[in-house]
Amino acid sequence: DQQVKQNSPSLSVQEGRISILNCDYTNSMFDYFLWYKKYPAEGPTFLISISSIKDKNEDGRFTVFLNKSAKHLSLHIVPSQPGDSAVYFCAARVFNTDKLIFGTGTRLQVFP
C-alpha cells in the first residue's frame, strides 16, 4: 500500500517555463512534507519542506503548496532550467518520528 504517490512518472518542460510536480498522500499522520532531487549515481538532495500546518513555502525558484483537504502537495519550479533535470521525490514524515516515506518519483526533463 503506497501511502505517498507520484502519479506522473515523467514530465518534460521547456527551459524558462514552470514545472509542476505533484504528489498525493493517503495518511493523515504526516507532519512534514519534503521534496528531494536525485541525479544519477548520487544520493537524494533535500530541496524544500513544508509543515502540515502551512499551505505554502517558498525558497528561490522553488515553491511547495500543500492542500490538506485534498491530501495533495505540489512543487513549482519557476523558471525551469536544464540543470533541474533529475528525478524528484516527495516524502512525508510520520508524525513525531524519524521516519520518512517516499513517493515513487517523477523524472523531470527540462529542454532548451
Partner 1 sequence: DTEVTQTPKHLVMGMTNKKSLKCEQHMGHRAMYWYKQKAKKPPELMFVYSYEKLSINESVPSRFSPECPNSSLLNLHLHALQPEDSALYLCASSQAGSPDTQYFGPGTRLTVL
Site for partner 1 in 71-100 (CB under 8 A): 89, 93, 97-100
DSSP strand pairing (10-14 vs 106-111): parallel
For the bound state, the minimum distance from the C-beta of residue 112 to partner 1, rounded and expressed in Å, comes to 27
Residue 35 touches partner 1, criterion: CB under 8 A:
no
C-alpha cell at 20: 509542476
The distance of closest approach from Cβ of residue 44 to partner 1 in the complex, given in angstroms and rounded to an integer, is 5
How many helices (H) and strands (E) would you count in the chain?
Answer: 0, 11
Can you tell me which of 14, 17, 46, 67 binds partner 1, judged by CB under 8 A?
A: 46
Q: Do residues 89 and 108 touch, judged by C-beta distance below 8 A?
A: no
**Which is nearer to partner 1, 40 or 112 (by Cβ)?**
40
* Separation of alpha carbons 7 and 14, rounded Å: 21
Binding residue (CB under 8 A) for partner 1 from 8, 22, 74, 104: 104
